[in-house]
Structure 1
Amino acid sequence: MTEHANRPSAGTTSTIEEHIVRVRRRLEQALAAAGRAPDAARLLAVSKTQPAAALRAAHEAGQCAFGENYLQEALEKQQALADLDPEWHFIGGIQSNKTREIAEHFDWAHTVDREKIARRLNDQRPASRAPLNICLQVNVDRETGKAGTDFEALPALAESVLTLPGLSLRGLMAIPAASEDRDTQRRAFQRLAEALTRLQERFPEAPLDTLSMGMSADLEAAVLEGATLVRIGSAIFGPRTTS
């Protein structure tokens, strides 16, 4: 990765900054419409396939949390942006051969959906780092072949994860089936929010404060149902870069 590739052009910086301002305004308006505090949800910039230069521009515009789907790509960006020390979230699928580097290099993992992966992340989390913040991914629409645990298995999985000292179970994450209908969007997010409430009641000592849900097309519906982290990509960075 060249030095030039790590430096955004003035035009790129301006565009990303303008996009972040618009997305943050949209988030603020959604929170106000939901009767929630202005800081009740925060923005996670989904930066997969984007060059390190774009992330640097976003960071310069005040964005500090980035979500990455592809491990090797993310590790390269982390090295290129080591001087910035942003908050790194892994939001892609987690296979066993990825757990060590996720445990070593990320602050959050959003897509834990089985005990085996949780235990590997716990065992491989460096003692020098704070516990890895995790969300349990739920298949809210019971889509065949889609990642995520089901609602029935969720309490047992949460109970297992809460015994692992290298992890901090923060909440739930979902990617509902795509829909343009606002009521359909809200129902899916409501199911996830209700599941989190049940976990909070069952495990009152756990730091269960996070609903990672909502993307560019359904941000408003997610915020209405209690999202605390919204994952926004193209509305910030524009179309994905492909190699």
Structure 2
Amino acid sequence: MTSQPAAAQAVTTEDFSRNLATVNQKIAEAASRSGRQASAVRLLPVTKTIEPERLRLAIEAGVQTLGENKVQEALAKSEEFASEYPTLRYAVIGPLQANKAKFVARFAHEFHALDSLKLAQTLQRRLELEERTLEVFIQVNTSGEDSKSGIAAGEVAELLEAIAPLDRLVPRGLMTMAANTTDESTIRASFALLRTTLEELRDSGAPEGFDQLSMGMSGDFELAIEEGATVVRVGQGIFGARSYPQASA
């Protein structure tokens, strides 16, 4: 990924307000460079590993959605905040084991890592029991790296058609993680492939509302916006450096 210094550790509401303003300004500038309005890009805060006490400060500063990749951690937060912040939204952004689909169906509003019909069918059954719907993003491996989850770009149309009868799933778009490199042209290529894949799907009759590109993290979200991102997943830019070295969202 491209290298950008993490924001200063946010420990007060004022810190979070300042960091959010900085990220939103970068979003606006990148959107402008791509000929779009800042309102065309949604900031999805990545809140994994962040304790509830700090999250409360971030919510008071304006965070409205929590992006999580640890399902049980996210479930615990949703239960803790249920009465305090009833309008808070939850987005699961990491790979999901089928045996945890029941939890996602219970609390999540968005799932950014759908990569198989089997998982979609499991979610459908669980959502029926919960009498809920779930917005889903199909994860595409645009870098070709074995370490990345997701299906190949050429397989998306088939999966999208297969999940069409699953009425509890609301397909919203595609998601990817860029190539793990510092080479900007390679990173851009990952994002551009996702954009062109979505364009081709829309030209061939994708469902109404299937128009979102979830791509870009703290180190590369500006490049992602320039390549067409409509959702950027930012954690360190808002919360500061995490407590473990491998995090980059």
- Is the pair's TM-score, using the shorter chain for normalization, greater than 0.5? yes
Q: How many positions carry a matched residue from both structures?
A: 233
CA offset at residue 131 of structure 1?
Answer: 2.2
> What does 1:62-101 correspond to in 2, within 5 Å?
62-82=62-82, 83-84=84-85, 85-101=87-103
Distance, in Å, in 1 between the alignment partners of 2:206 and 2:156 is 16
Q: What is the identity, as a one-letter code, of the residue corresponding to 1:13?
A: T
RMSD: 1.7
Of the three residues 155, 163, 169, the one matched with 1:153 is 155
CA deviation vs aligned residue, 1:36-79 (integer Å, no higher than 9, x gap)? 01200010000000011222211111121121010111111112
Stretches of 4+ aligned residues off by more than 6 angstroms: none
Moved more, 56-65 or 202-211: 202-211
CA offset at residue 163 of structure 1?
Answer: 1.7
**Gap change, CA 1:91 and 1:205, over 3 Å in 2:** closer
Q: Percent identity?
A: 36
Matched-pair contact (CA < 8 Å) for 2:67–2:93: yes
Matched-pair contact (CA < 8 Å) for 2:175–2:214: yes
Q: Helix, strand or coil for the counterpart of 1:149?
A: coil
> What does 1:221-232 correspond to in 2, within 5 Å?
221-232=223-234
Matched-pair contact (CA < 8 Å) for 2:124–2:168: yes
- Give the aligned partner of residue 174 of structure 1: 176
CA offset at residue 145 of structure 1?
Answer: 4.0
> What does 1:22-33 correspond to in 2, within 5 Å?
22-33=22-33
- Give the aligned partner of residue 247 of structure 2: none
- Give the aligned partner of residue 192 of structure 2: 190
**Gap change, CA 1:79 and 1:205, over 3 Å in 2:** closer
Matched-pair contact (CA < 8 Å) for 1:20–1:58: no
1:115 matches 2:117: yes
Matched-pair contact (CA < 8 Å) for 1:68–1:74: yes
**Gap change, CA 1:56 and 1:129, over 3 Å in 2:** farther
Moved more, 207-216 or 177-186: 177-186
Q: Which runs of 5+ in 2 are unaligned?
A: 1-9, 245-249
CA offset at residue 150 of structure 1?
Answer: 0.8
Matched-pair contact (CA < 8 Å) for 2:173–2:213: yes
1:47 matches 2:47: yes
- Give the aligned partner of residue 18 of structure 1: 18
Distance, in Å, in 2 between the alignment partners of 1:126 and 1:33 is 43
Matched-pair contact (CA < 8 Å) for 2:72–2:103: no
Q: What is the identity, as a one-letter code, of the residue corresponding to 1:143?
A: E
CA offset at residue 146 of structure 1?
Answer: 2.4
CA offset at residue 238 of structure 1?
Answer: 1.1
Distance, in Å, in 1 between the alignment partners of 2:74 and 2:130 is 21
- Give the aligned partner of residue 240 of structure 2: 238
CA offset at residue 154 of structure 1?
Answer: 1.3
Matched-pair contact (CA < 8 Å) for 2:11–2:54: no
Distance, in Å, in 2 between the alignment partners of 1:44 and 1:21 is 14
Of the three residues 132, 135, 146, the one matched with 2:134 is 132
Distance, in Å, in 2 between the alignment partners of 1:103 and 1:208 is 20
Q: Helix, strand or coil for the counterpart of 1:89?
A: strand
Distance, in Å, in 2 between the alignment partners of 1:19 and 1:129 is 37
Distance, in Å, in 2 between the alignment partners of 1:177 and 1:183 is 10
CA offset at residue 130 of structure 1?
Answer: 4.8
Q: Helix, strand or coil for the counterpart of 2:153?
A: coil
CA offset at residue 204 of structure 1?
Answer: 4.1
Q: Helix, strand or coil for the counterpart of 2:209?
A: coil
> What does 1:200-219 correspond to in 2, within 5 Å?
200-219=202-221
CA offset at residue 179 of structure 1?
Answer: 2.5
Matched-pair contact (CA < 8 Å) for 1:17–1:57: no
Q: Which runs of 5+ in 1 are unaligned?
A: 1-9
Q: What is the identity, as a one-letter code, of the residue corresponding to 2:59?
A: H
Query: Higher relative contact order at CA 8 Å, sep ≥6: structure 1 or structure 2?
Result: 2
